[in-house]
Amino acid sequence: MTTPEIYRSFIPFYAVMVSLTAVPLILLSFRHANLREFWTLAASIIKFALVFLLLPGALAGRIAEFTFWEISPGIALTLKTDAFGVFFALIASGLWMLTSIYSIGYVRGLKEHKQTRYFACFAVCLSATIGIAFAANLLTFVFFYEILTIATYPLVIHKETRVAIQAGRKYLVYTLTAGVLLIAATAWTYRITGNLDFRAGGMFANASFSPSAITVLFILFLAGVGVKAAIMPLHSWLPAAMVAPTPVSALLHAVAVVKSGVFGVVRVVGFVFGPQLMRQFDLNTLLAIMAGATIILASLLAFRQDNLKQRLAYSTVGHLSYIVLGAALLSPASLIGGLLHIVNHATLKITLFFCAGAIYVRHHKEKISELDGIGRVMPWTMGAFTVGAVGLAGIPPINGFISKWQLGLGALQAGEILPLAVLVLSGLLNAGYFAPIIYRAFLKSPAVPYKHGEASPLMVIPIVMTGLFSLLLGLNPDLFFYFYRLAAQVSASILGGTGP
Amino acid sequence: MTDFFLGHYAYFGIITLLIIGLYGMIFKKNLAKKLIGMTIFQVSIIMFYVASAVKWSGTVPVLDPLAGAADAAKYISPLQHCLMLTAIVVGVATSGVAFSLLIAIYRHYKTLDESVLMDRMKSS
Amino acid sequence: MIIYNSPALVPLLLLATAISIPVLAIKKTKLAYPLAVGASLFSVILSSYNIFRVWKSGPLTYHFGGWIPPIGIEYVLDPLSAFIALVINIVAFFVLWHASGVQEREIPGKSVPYYSLVLLFLCGANGIIMTGDLFNLYVFLEIFSLAGYGLIGIGEKQAPVAAFRYLIMGTVGASFYLLGLGFLYIVTGSLNMADIKNILPLIDSNPAVEAALSLMVIGIGIKMAIFPLHGWLPDAYTYAPSTTSSLIAPIGTKVAAYAIIRLLFFVFDVKFVSRTLPITDLIAWLAAIGILYGSVMAMAQKEMKRMLAYSSVAQIGYIGLGIGMANPLGFIGAVLHILNHAFMKGTLFLVAANLRKNSGHSDISRLDASYRKKLPWSMAAFTLAALSMIGLPPTAGFFSKWYLALGAIDRGNWVFLAVILVSSLLNAVYFFRILEKVYLVPPPAPKAGEDLSPKAKKRRGSLIGEEEYGLMIPCVILSFSLLLLGLGNANIVKGIIQRIIPLGM
């Protein structure tokens, strides 16, 4: 692979700033709901278009770079659109479009309070997420990571009930602690390397350090990004945060925030430490064990949840660790599998959350035990739900299968059998906890006839689109966005150590 | 040994004053007595400066026709005295502010005894 | 040629106005406020001009009465002093701007003496910062402190007691400083900072020098309220009038911190203070304990001003920690934190003042969401300052912690690093406690008819939401500049602070 060509460009800057610019517009048009939602939609479409513009360059190995200014002597706030960044930004901004449409249906359907604050915070979150995706160095990463932490808080406590406030506290305790650990790790890395730029293959190449320092440093990093990635035992904020409105759970707690965490894990593994150092100090084993344990435990815990969103949350915890496992195995296929799972889990889980939200808005049901026969009145919604569930269980032809296949392949490439067993077992468990929902929805007859049918089209259309998209990606992972090619490129750059 | 004590007697006096002042500030319960302690403390430091300027067989730093201006060693150093003039002014100002505060305290609480004062502050 | 005298002009201007206020405003008491604000604004302009000159052509000196140092008194404006002077003058200006709305209400009928004292206080602060003479520093320290006692004592019923306690401790501090200076003078025969710095290496191992340094540091340490010498601070900040606390909290302790920096690194040698006599280690460890102590105590407080006061004890700890680490990064962190903390604490105390003005109390337990509706902008300012106190990017607070953390790692001291990180979590606890209340706890149900008053309706409909611009705008400007200071911190660090890192660090 050739060394990528770097060119200066304002596009990454615009991509980050567009939703931030929308914030004052959203706030100012608080009296006109339609205008306000117009800003959100416009920002999300422009953002997606901007990120999409960067795709051809990323595929061809051309990297756009934008430097704001120095924020600490020697360290600049810099955005860089490498393949991995574009990969993540595409998912986040693409799904934001759909979530925006869905959100409008959701908050209006429920007549939520403080909708302005809701949409404004959402926009800030997306800016931060794109900032995380394009961050060219650790300090920039930390910068946006912390902004994301704070901007998500008002969304978690949106309902302003006692439970929501408790969940918000828990969320803050976990994420702020993680934040300071990440800052400590960043400062320490700076001390060792004198440079914080991400480098495929690791940034410690020419630095001198003591072995114990590397292990402690890795644990600090892991705690820092692992909270958002919900690696056990750092996961318990995520189920608690399900008290947030469903679109928040869908986009942030299945895509943007938690994926920022796993994105961070991959950045740390592939671009800070690098495969060589990981293997040398057995850090990848540590990571793999944690990820494997999380996958199994989270799937088991998911069985016990009767609340639909809680079950989905535990399922998310498990699936995030698939990605972590993929990074930990450090073989070409496992990395591709892990990265693809970022996309696949995103489309699948967002579908499932959208469905849960649609059911809640239309029928005010949150518990699985209350869903008997709901598939008959909401065929589209529950059809999409089935696609999502099947995909997460890893059954072809849905996209979840492809990432699992690659992960399994990667485990074999790495010469490990145990991860393969974990994957198979977890697939079964996934099928196990999703099957009863589908069974109840379609085959049981309702105790009390439902009064309503499908939710508003504003909600159903995004649901169907994400479900359909999951199916299409399952048939051809390179469809439209070349996710497979991007993932392969990232994997090659991490393992080959060639990259910016 | 005796020489040491005799030679530095001024300093021992100053240290005694200093300790008396500190004692007053820390252990006296009456705020006015604390203030007296503080003043003694300040005075001890002024004495310290003045003592450091002393020179046996030197004269006051005013031009003396007998001593002449050629040999500065015949005069004691004037600087410490000047500094202490300022310090005394500062001390007076401090006492003034402190007294006015004491008056304000007494007006509100009708006492200057610290423990009584604490009780009355809490109850109000 | 007034321009060439500009270093001396700021304290003199403030002093002259302070004296002329009682004369000019004796009949027309309304004159006092504009005179004070005018002088403060002028001092901001002058110090901006000073820092521009220093930045362009290097350190400026001014010899009083034309006497050449070490005989005469010298004023020195190097990048450090010009910078700190600018910071405190700016903060003071915003606080004075804000004062128009609260001063008359809290201490009615005392505007003439009050503003006169404020200007004396500022004159003292500027003098401490600019002087190059150790005895002159003592004099300004006392002008500054005496004005401070008055400013505090003018407040609530308990204020005179707090002020008296501060006076006793402050005078002990000043006396210790004077005693130490006496030792130093006896040994070196000079009072000029630069001169002493040249003489000291020749008499390095004299126990009198060590005694002098210890006494002087303890003395100024009391004024700086470094743990465990902070006993006077919480009461003084709590009972003082709002304007005083928002003036003393950002300025008072910072000036003392500056004096310690001057003393340790620009009069004594870095090597001497950190190796021969490990006084910097002592400062750093005490500061670290103070950070934790202050944060924990702040969490336990029920009253906002008291909480902010304890939080100040902790934040002073950051500055002390940066000084005590005695390495370049710690030094950058300390100086940057002087700036950041001045802006943050200024904002926070001003918002506390707005709360008191608006509802007559600043009890944390009685806060609820109605306060956000009444004071939306003040609360936004408070939120931003709180985030900065916690140390979240992109606010300024993050970066001072960043440099301090780098400094701690540079020194290889993991305890300091842990203290910095833990305290930022503790900050989060006590600030989010307030934010939660202000944004999330629903107010008690309004009495019938109350909500329908035309005024309330009008307020709800207006975009601004807050009617008293004089109270709102200073808070908002101060807090939003935290974002600018955060994003632009590299310019401050490179343009100013890195130029003045003491030799030998």
Task: Give the ipTM.
Answer: 0.92
* Residue to test with chain B: of C73, C168, C222, most B Cβ within 10 A: C168
Name the DSSP letter for residue A2. P
* CB spacing of B52 vs C175 below 8 angstroms: no
**Which residue, among A1, A78, A90, has the nearest Cα to A47 in the 3D structure?**
A90
C296 to chain B, any CB pair closer than 8 A? The answer is no
Read off the tokens for A52.
């999409």
- C28, burial (CB in 10 Å: exposed 0-12, middle 13-18, buried 19+): exposed
Judged by DSSP in three states, B110 sits in coil
Judged by DSSP in three states, C505 sits in coil
Name the DSSP letter for residue A417. S
Q: What is the DSSP string of A312-345?
A: HHHHHHHHHHHHHHHHHH-SHHHHHHHHHHHHHH
If you count residue pairs, one on A and one on C, with CB atoms under 8 Å apart, how many are there? 72
Q: Do chains A and B touch (3 or more CB pairs under 8 A)?
A: no
Measure the CA–CA gap between C95 and C240, rounded to whole angstroms. 14
Residues from B in contact with C at Cβ < 8 Å: 22, 25, 31, 34-35, 38, 41-42, 45, 48-49, 52, 80, 83, 86-87, 90, 93-94, 97-98, 100-102, 104-105, 108-109, 117, 121, 124
C405 neighbors A183 (Cβ within 8 angstroms) = yes
Measure the CA–CA gap between C448 and A213, rounded to whole angstroms. 65
DSSP-assigned beta bridge partners for residue C76 = C61
pTM to 2 decimals?
0.89
Q: Which residue of B has its CA nearest to C140?
A: B90
* CB spacing of C167 vs B94 below 8 angstroms: yes
Judged by DSSP in three states, A29 sits in coil
Q: Residue A302 corresponds to which amino acid?
A: A
Helix extents (H) in A237-370: 237-240, 246-251, 257-266, 274-280, 283-303, 308-329, 332-363
Measure the CA–CA gap between A205 and A198, rounded to whole angstroms. 12
What pLDDT does residue C41 have?
Answer: 93
pLDDT 10s digits, B108-119: 888 888 888 888
**Which residue, among A279, A259, A262, A314, has the nearest Cα to A432 in the 3D structure?**
A314
* CB spacing of B93 vs C142 below 8 angstroms: yes
A4 neighbors A499 (Cβ within 8 angstroms) = yes
CA-CA-CA-CA torsion sign (C379, C381, C387, C388)? negative
Read off the tokens for C322.
């940066």
Q: Residue A152 corresponds to which amino acid?
A: T
Measure the CA–CA gap between A474 and A492, rounded to whole angstroms. 22
* Residue to test with chain C: of A180, A227, A243, most C Cβ within 10 A: A180
Measure the CA–CA gap between C414 and A213, rounded to whole angstroms. 12
If you count residue pairs, one on B and one on C, with CB atoms under 8 Å apart, how many are there? 72
Low-confidence ranges of chain A (pLDDT < 50): 1, 499-500
Subunits adjacent to chain C (3 or more Cβ pairs under 8 Å): A, B
* Residue to test with chain B: of C71, C152, C154, C178, most B Cβ within 10 A: C178
CA-CA-CA-CA torsion sign (A445, A448, A454, A458)? negative
Judged by DSSP in three states, C313 sits in helix
Measure the CA–CA gap between C283 and A275, rounded to whole angstroms. 43
Judged by DSSP in three states, C117 sits in helix
**Which residue, among C336, C132, C87, C316, has the nearest Cα to C221 in the 3D structure?**
C316
CB neighbours of residue B103 within 10 Å = 12
What pLDDT does residue C291 have?
Answer: 93
Pairing type for strands C60-63 and A62-72 reads unpaired
Query: Rounded to whole angstroms, what are the CA distances from C482 to A154, A265, C207, C336, C434?
Result: 21, 31, 45, 12, 20
Q: What are phi and psi of B37, to 5 degrees?
A: -55, -45
Measure the CA–CA gap between A53 and A11, rounded to whole angstroms. 8
Q: Do chains C and B touch (3 or more CB pairs under 8 A)?
A: yes
CATH 3.20.20.70 correct for B2-123: no
**Which residue, among A361, A419, A429, A350, has the nearest Cα to A394 in the 3D structure?**
A429
Give me the residues of C, 150-189, that contact B with CB < 8 A. Answer: 150, 153, 157-158, 160-161, 163-164, 167-168, 171-172, 174-175, 178-179, 182, 185-186
Nearest-by-Cβ selection for B117 from C135, C161, C172: C161
**In chain A, where are the structural domains located?**
5-496
**Which residue, among A363, C168, C154, A402, has the nearest Cα to B34 in the 3D structure?**
C168
Q: What are phi and psi of A367, to 5 degrees?
A: -100, 145
C397 neighbors C387 (Cβ within 8 angstroms) = yes
* CB spacing of C142 vs B52 below 8 angstroms: no
Q: How does pLDDT run along chain B (124 residues), one tens digit per residue?
A: 677 777 778 888 899 999 999 999 989 889 999 999 999 999 999 999 988 888 777 777 777 777 777 777 778 888 888 889 999 999 999 999 999 999 999 988 888 888 888 888 887 6
Q: How does pLDDT run along chain C (505 residues), one tens digit per residue?
A: 456 777 888 888 999 999 998 888 888 888 888 889 999 999 999 999 988 888 888 888 888 877 887 788 888 888 899 999 999 999 999 999 988 878 778 888 888 889 999 999 999 999 999 998 999 999 999 999 999 999 998 888 888 999 999 999 999 999 999 999 999 998 888 888 888 888 888 886 788 888 888 999 999 999 998 888 888 888 888 888 888 999 998 898 899 999 999 998 888 888 777 777 788 889 999 999 999 999 999 988 888 889 999 999 999 999 999 998 888 889 999 999 999 999 999 999 999 888 888 887 788 878 887 777 788 888 889 999 999 999 888 888 899 999 999 999 888 888 999 999 999 899 998 898 888 888 877 777 655 544 444 444 444 444 556 667 778 888 889 889 998 888 888 888 888 888 888 877 7
CB neighbours of residue C23 within 10 Å = 9
Q: What are phi and psi of A498, to 5 degrees?
A: -105, 125
Measure the CA–CA gap between C307 and C233, rounded to whole angstroms. 11
Name the DSSP letter for residue C443. P
Q: Which residue of C has its CA nearest to B118?
A: C161
Helix extents (H) in A74-201: 83-110, 115-134, 138-156, 162-193
Q: Which residue of A has its CA nearest to C390?
A: A176
Read off the tokens for C488.
């632009």
* CB spacing of C167 vs B102 below 8 angstroms: no
Chain C residues in contact with A72 (beta carbon < 8 A): 399, 402-403, 489-490, 493
Measure the CA–CA gap between A275 and A201, rounded to whole angstroms. 6
A347 neighbors A466 (Cβ within 8 angstroms) = yes
Q: Which residue of B has its CA nearest to C138?
A: B87
Chain A residues in contact with C387 (beta carbon < 8 A): 150
Name the DSSP letter for residue A395. -
Measure the CA–CA gap between C225 and C254, rounded to whole angstroms. 10
Subunits adjacent to chain A (3 or more Cβ pairs under 8 Å): C
CB neighbours of residue C34 within 10 Å = 12
